[in-house]
């Protein structure tokens, strides 16, 4: 197997050592409003807040060659006329050395070619709407070098979807200005937009280009632009067609000399009444943006912005740090899994190399679950996220499946009526309360569907979430599934036979028959969480009511949702079982075997252990636990999209990494630390680094799926980065296997770790207190005795220290 790089844990970087990774291995820039995706060869694009509506640079998905279009720099030896890109793409010129360091919020790509060493640091300063490219060039030759540097970005005409489709208009509207060495992209600024992009450089220019076809030349690509080849820009001004930004600089480097050059690519908005300067003209008013450009063209400000970014990440990651006997656990928990959780916080499912940034907005269900992975790092922003989500909830308690980040309004593009959605809101709020203890959130008055006048306390929203399910029960008393439940592709009311019809929006049945065992389990889990919250707040009557409802649903599940050796998955519209040993295919599904035990179902009567044994026997593979078996070998009209996928891919029996942690947690709940950690390691990206040729996606983040045993490429991952796998794996390892678990009343310490671990250490910042935890194994079991500050305490939940005490020493002994 080839090696493509290594983890540098000290610097919290993944270092890629050859440019031709099996797929582009990407990173994210930006943390609040301005974001970029950047691959190991400088491919990718940037956007402001909304990847579809405010796309700054253009990117062509599914392009050939792969990953073509990005943040390019060309270097040209003006004596020999030879040119190359220090990031390998787009010229593919051979490099004498190459490394790409993906760090937290930044990427550095460096290489040497013809005795010129180049390094480019890309990052977005905190609080700013711009990205910095800091280029450093060193002449390693023994003689002076005369080098031209060219940049190249292609602007997107803002709405990425329209940009990729509406050519009859868009080829006419492109507009730019070039002023004082700064390239401004201002398409549509003349009328309804008050924003523009800018591309600036710290050096005086010898030329520039803004018209793509002139810069590249007819029928040429980014690999050999005419301007670069001939060593001279055209000073072109784009009118229509395809606006780009390209600077041209001349540099003379003495032997051993190093030069730093700064490029800024940014987004800026002007107040509506001050768009133009002079007023009445169509020229951009640049008075508001010039100071920002000037600030970041100064190297000392770039240095301090970079230092600030690094300490921002130090601050986020220090909320949990562990030292266990397992390197892959440490690396993912301490660095990459936490980082990925923050990326899902920022992106939801909108923009990755598998999500085009045009389709899915913020998912209701997805965002609610992502919160499990970042609430301890950014509690205040998690609070805001919860309130945003709740404000898109419908009066019925149901939810839009998605909302647009720019407007925060729900949209129906992928349908609504996914009947599991509302329950995730309850789980998200429970996670927030357990982390922060901030019960004031429950009293915040939040509208339904953004309608003013409809405001109700958040607590009432949660109650409606539960009632939504109770008001939608099917023939067996189980929850009706609606369009689908967690499994988007189990479309039991769709019956789609028309090509191109969306499985998620078409409905050919009235939805009164098909039921979901998964939603049943999820309801029990959510109802028990809400009961605990109610009790904690002193609302005993509510608590009893939800305890009761949960028990009633549990009884129904045991009666109609148990197949003998595992939990059933569903009943379809014909009243037939899905996920039963009676089925020809799809006899056992992973989801209910995880969620039901998580809800406490089957924990005391042996059913949970039985179901988990069935998972082990039927679903576990070396690459992780597949979603179902046997895979569907053909299309079943009554089951929907799930059976549209070839066996082993996606919901049809791939290893769906999001659901594996449910099994890990269930295994931990029944006390099987070895099994839980074994499953954890099977899909841990770092543990799979050695098989990068098979896995193919980035070895530092989870992918949505790994092809299952029925696939022709088992072990091959797809859809990296934006997946609920990040949050759930983080929750499984930190809260259940390591057992450091927030509760409403304090931090619980209940590890269920592998038997051969002698212990581990952890530091956890929780409600403002830093807990220094040391866990020791004194026996093979999972029973915990706790000592706090040298004194033993009863139970597993740490008492909150007296006010003013910021550090607590905890010793936990397992027997």
| Active-site annotation, residues | 488
* Residue 689 in the binding site for ligand GLC (CB under 6 A): no
Of the candidates 683, 529, 659, the residue with the CA atom closest to the CA atom of residue 594: 659
Of the candidates 148, 130, 268, 141, the residue with the CA atom closest to the CA atom of residue 196: 268
Residue nearer to ligand GLC on the CB measure, 549 or 651: 651
* Residue 366 in the binding site for ligand GLC (CB under 6 A): yes
- Minimum CB distance to ligand GLC, residue 629 (Å): 17
Residue nearer to ligand GLC on the CB measure, 107 or 629: 629
- Minimum CB distance to ligand GLC, residue 723 (Å): 6
Report the alpha-carbon distance of residue 181 to residue 206 in Å, rounded: 9
Restricting to residues 462-491, which ones interact with ligand GLC according to CB under 6 A? Answer: 486-489
Structure tokens at 476: 């067996």
- Which residues in 684-721 are b (16+ Cβ under 10 Å) and which e? bbbbbbeebebbbbbbbbbbbbbbbbbbeebbbbbbbb
- Minimum CB distance to ligand GLC, residue 155 (Å): 30
Task: Say what the alpha-carbon torsion angle 366, 370, 372, 373 is, to the nearest 10 degrees.
Answer: 160
Residue nearer to ligand GLC on the CB measure, 202 or 493: 493
Binding mask 701-730 for ligand GLC (x = CB under 6 A): ---x------------------xx------
Residue nearer to ligand GLC on the CB measure, 318 or 718: 718
Residue nearer to ligand GLC on the CB measure, 366 or 572: 366
Residue nearer to ligand GLC on the CB measure, 52 or 650: 650
Classify strands 195-201 and 106-113 as parallel, antiparallel or unpaired.
Answer: unpaired
Residue nearer to ligand GLC on the CB measure, 324 or 723: 723
Structure tokens at 263: 């490029």
Restricting to residues 486-525, which ones interact with ligand GLC according to CB under 6 A? Answer: 486-489, 504
Report the alpha-carbon distance of residue 74 to residue 221 in Å, rounded: 13
The angle formed by the CA atoms of residues 506, 511 and 517, to the nearest 5 degrees, is: 110
| DSSP string covering 468-519 | HHHTSB-TTSSBB-BT-SSSTT--TTT---STT--TTT---S-SSS-EEHHH
Report the alpha-carbon distance of residue 106 to residue 388 in Å, rounded: 28
Residue 655 φ/ψ region, left for φ over 0, alpha for ψ in the -120 to 50 degree band, beta for the rest? beta
Residue nearer to ligand GLC on the CB measure, 210 or 419: 419
- Minimum CB distance to ligand GLC, residue 489 (Å): 5
Site stretch for ligand GLC (CB under 6 A), options 146-154, 255-263, 358-366, 517-525: 358-366
Restricting to residues 398-417, which ones interact with ligand GLC according to CB under 6 A? Answer: 414
Restricting to residues 178-237, which ones interact with ligand GLC according to CB under 6 A? Answer: none
Single residue of 245, 363, 474, 624 touching ligand GLC by CB under 6 A: 363
Residue nearer to ligand GLC on the CB measure, 339 or 486: 486
Site stretch for ligand GLC (CB under 6 A), options 203-211, 338-346, 363-371, 387-395: 363-371
Confirm if 813 and 760 have CB atoms less than 8 A apart.
Answer: no
Structure tokens at 710: 């029925």
- Minimum CB distance to ligand GLC, residue 378 (Å): 21
- Minimum CB distance to ligand GLC, residue 212 (Å): 34
Report the alpha-carbon distance of residue 175 to residue 226 in Å, rounded: 22
Site stretch for ligand GLC (CB under 6 A), options 469-477, 603-611, 650-658, 799-807: 650-658
Report the alpha-carbon distance of residue 754 to residue 667 in Å, rounded: 12
- Which residues in 510-519 are b (16+ Cβ under 10 Å) and which e? ebebbbbbbb
DSSP, res 236: B
Report the alpha-carbon distance of residue 281 to residue 145 in Å, rounded: 44
Q: Return the number of other C-beta atoms located less than 10 Å from residue 407's C-beta.
A: 12
Q: Return the number of other C-beta atoms located less than 10 Å from residue 603's C-beta.
A: 16
Report the alpha-carbon distance of residue 645 to residue 493 in Å, rounded: 18
* Residue 651 in the binding site for ligand GLC (CB under 6 A): yes
Residue nearer to ligand GLC on the CB measure, 492 or 814: 492
Residue nearer to ligand GLC on the CB measure, 244 or 414: 414
* Residue 5 in the binding site for ligand GLC (CB under 6 A): no
Report the alpha-carbon distance of residue 429 to residue 742 in Å, rounded: 13
Structure tokens at 800: 């909150």
Q: Return the number of other C-beta atoms located less than 10 Å from residue 765's C-beta.
A: 16
Residue nearer to ligand GLC on the CB measure, 641 or 710: 641
- Minimum CB distance to ligand GLC, residue 694 (Å): 21
Instruction: Provide Rg for the chain, Cα atoms.
Output: 28
- Minimum CB distance to ligand GLC, residue 103 (Å): 27
Q: Count the site residues for ligand GLC by CB under 6 A.
A: 17
Report the alpha-carbon distance of residue 372 to residue 430 in Å, rounded: 10
For the sheet containing 703-706, what is the strand order?
Answer: 655-656, 703-706, 717-720
- Minimum CB distance to ligand GLC, residue 78 (Å): 50
Q: What are the residues facing 147 on neighbouring strands?
A: 77, 251
Structure tokens at 422: 């509302």
* Residue 654 in the binding site for ligand GLC (CB under 6 A): no
Site stretch for ligand GLC (CB under 6 A), options 362-370, 466-474, 572-580, 731-739: 362-370
- Minimum CB distance to ligand GLC, residue 685 (Å): 17
- Minimum CB distance to ligand GLC, residue 702 (Å): 11
Confirm if 405 and 49 have CB atoms less than 8 A apart.
Answer: yes
Q: Note the helical H segments in 158-244.
A: 160-163, 167-173, 212-216, 226-230
Single residue of 650, 682, 688, 764 touching ligand GLC by CB under 6 A: 650
Report the alpha-carbon distance of residue 585 to residue 580 in Å, rounded: 9
- Minimum CB distance to ligand GLC, residue 762 (Å): 29
Single residue of 195, 365, 528, 577 touching ligand GLC by CB under 6 A: 365
Residue nearer to ligand GLC on the CB measure, 289 or 722: 722
Q: Residue 274: helix, strand or coil by DSSP? A: helix
Restricting to residues 725-784, which ones interact with ligand GLC according to CB under 6 A? Answer: none
How far is CA 759 from its chain centroid? 31
Confirm if 126 and 309 have CB atoms less than 8 A apart.
Answer: yes
- Minimum CB distance to ligand GLC, residue 401 (Å): 8
Q: Using CB atoms, what's the residue nearest to ligand GLC?
A: 488
Single residue of 195, 331, 349, 677 touching ligand GLC by CB under 6 A: 349
Site stretch for ligand GLC (CB under 6 A), options 47-55, 69-77, 359-367, 607-615: 359-367
Structure tokens at 542: 């509510």
Site stretch for ligand GLC (CB under 6 A), options 99-107, 163-171, 361-369, 475-483: 361-369
Q: Residue 731: helix, strand or coil by DSSP? A: helix
- List contacts with ligand GLC (CB under 6 A): 349, 363, 365-366, 414, 486-489, 504, 641, 650-651, 658, 704, 723-724
């Amino acid at each position: 197997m080839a090696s493509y790089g290594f983890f540098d844990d000290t610097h919290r970087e993944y270092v890629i050592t050859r440019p031709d990774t099996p797929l582009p291995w990407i990173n994210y820039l930006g943390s609040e409003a301005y974001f970029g995706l950047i691959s190991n060869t400088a491919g990718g694009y940037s956007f402001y807040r909304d990847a579809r509506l405010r796309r700054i640079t253009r990117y062509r998905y599914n392009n050939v060659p792969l990953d073509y279009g990005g943040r390019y720099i060309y270097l040209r030896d003006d004596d020999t006329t030879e040119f190359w890109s220090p990031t390998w793409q787009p010229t593919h010129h051979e490099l004498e050395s190459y490394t790409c360091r993906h760090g937290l919020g930044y990427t550095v790509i460096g290489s040497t070619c013809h005795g010129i060493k180049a390094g480019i640091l890309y990052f977005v300063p905190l609080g700013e709407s711009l990205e910095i490219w800091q280029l450093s060039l060193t002449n390693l030759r023994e003689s002076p070098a005369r080098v031209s540097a060219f940049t190249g970005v292609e602007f997107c005409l803002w709405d990425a979807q329209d940009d990729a489709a509406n050519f009859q208009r868009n080829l006419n509207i492109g507009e730019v200005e070039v002023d004082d060495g700064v390239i401004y992209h201002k398409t549509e600024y003349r009328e309804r937009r008050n924003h523009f992009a800018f591309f600036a450089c710290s050096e005086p220019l010898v030329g520039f280009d803004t018209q793509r076809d002139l810069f590249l030349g007819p029928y040429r690509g980014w690999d050999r632009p005419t301007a670069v080849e001939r060593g001279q820009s055209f000073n072109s001004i784009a009118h229509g067609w395809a606006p780009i930004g390209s600077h041209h600089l001349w540099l003379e480097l003495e032997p051993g000399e190093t030069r730093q050059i700064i490029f800024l690519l940014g987004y800026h908005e002007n107040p509506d009444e001050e768009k133009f300067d002079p007023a009445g003209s169509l020229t951009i008013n640049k008075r508001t943006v010039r100071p920002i450009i000037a600030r970041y063209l100064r190297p000392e400000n770039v240095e301090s912005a970079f230092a600030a970014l690094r300490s921002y990440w130090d601050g986020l990651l220090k909320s949990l740090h562990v030292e266990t006997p397992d390197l892959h656990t440490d690396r993912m928990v301490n660095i990459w899994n936490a980082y990925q959780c923050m990326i899902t916080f920022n992106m939801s499912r909108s923009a990755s190399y598998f999500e085009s940034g045009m389709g899915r907005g913020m998912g209701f269900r997805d965002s609610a679950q992502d919160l499990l992975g970042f609430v301890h790092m950014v509690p205040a922003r998690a609070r805001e996220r919860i309130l945003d989500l709740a404000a898109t909830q419908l009066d019925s308690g149901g939810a839009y499946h998605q909302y647009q980040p720019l407007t925060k309004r729900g949209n129906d593009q992928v349908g609504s009526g996914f009947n599991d959605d509302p329950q995730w809101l309850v789980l998200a709020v429970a996670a927030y309360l357990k982390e922060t203890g901030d019960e004031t959130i429950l009293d915040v008055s939040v509208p339904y569907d953004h309608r003013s006048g409809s405001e109700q306390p958040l607590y009432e929203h949660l109650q409606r979430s539960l009632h939504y399910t109770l008001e939608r029960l099917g023939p067996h008393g189980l929850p009706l599934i609606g369009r689908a439940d967690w499994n988007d592709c189990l479309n039991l009311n769709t019956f789609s036979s028309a090509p191109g019809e969306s499985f998620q929006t078409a409905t050919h049945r009235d939805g009164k028959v098909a039921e979901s065992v998964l939603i049943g389990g999820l309801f029990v889990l959510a109802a028990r969480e809400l009961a605990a919250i109610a009790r904690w707040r002193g609302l005993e009557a509510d608590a009893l009511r939800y305890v009761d409802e949960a028990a009633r649903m549990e009884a129904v599940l045991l009666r109609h949702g148990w197949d003998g050796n595992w939990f059933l998955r569903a009943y379809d519209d014909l009243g037939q079982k899905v996920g039963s040993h009676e089925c020809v295919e799809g006899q056992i599904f992973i989801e209910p075997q995880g969620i039901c035990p998580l809800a406490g179902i089957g924990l005391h009567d042996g059913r949970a252990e039985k179901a988990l044994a069935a998972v082990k026997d039927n679903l576990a593979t070396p690459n992780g636990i597949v979603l179902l078996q046997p895979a569907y070998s053909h299309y079943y009209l009554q089951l929907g999209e799930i059976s549209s996928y070839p066996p082993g891919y996606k919901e049809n029996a791939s290893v769906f990494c999001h659901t594996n942690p449910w099994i890990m947690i269930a295994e931990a709940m029944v006390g099987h630390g070895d099994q839980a950690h074994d499953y954890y390691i099977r899909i841990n990206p770092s543990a799979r680094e050695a098989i990068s040729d098979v896995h193919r996606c980035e070895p530092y983040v989870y992918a949505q799926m790994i092809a299952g045993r029925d696939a022709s490429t088992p072990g091959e991952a797809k859809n990296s980065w934006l997946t609920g796998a990040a949050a759930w794996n983080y929750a499984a390892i930190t809260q259940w296997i390591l057992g450091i678990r927030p509760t409403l009343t304090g931090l619980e310490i209940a590890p269920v770790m592998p038997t051969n671990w002698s212990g581990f250490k952890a530091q956890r910042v929780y409600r403002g207190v830093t807990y220094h935890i040391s866990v020791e194994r004194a026996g093979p079991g999972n029973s915990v005795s706790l000592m706090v500050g040298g004194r033993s305490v009863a139970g597993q939940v740490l008492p909150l220290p007296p006010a003013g005490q910021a550090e607590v020493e905890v010793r936990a002994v397992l027997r």
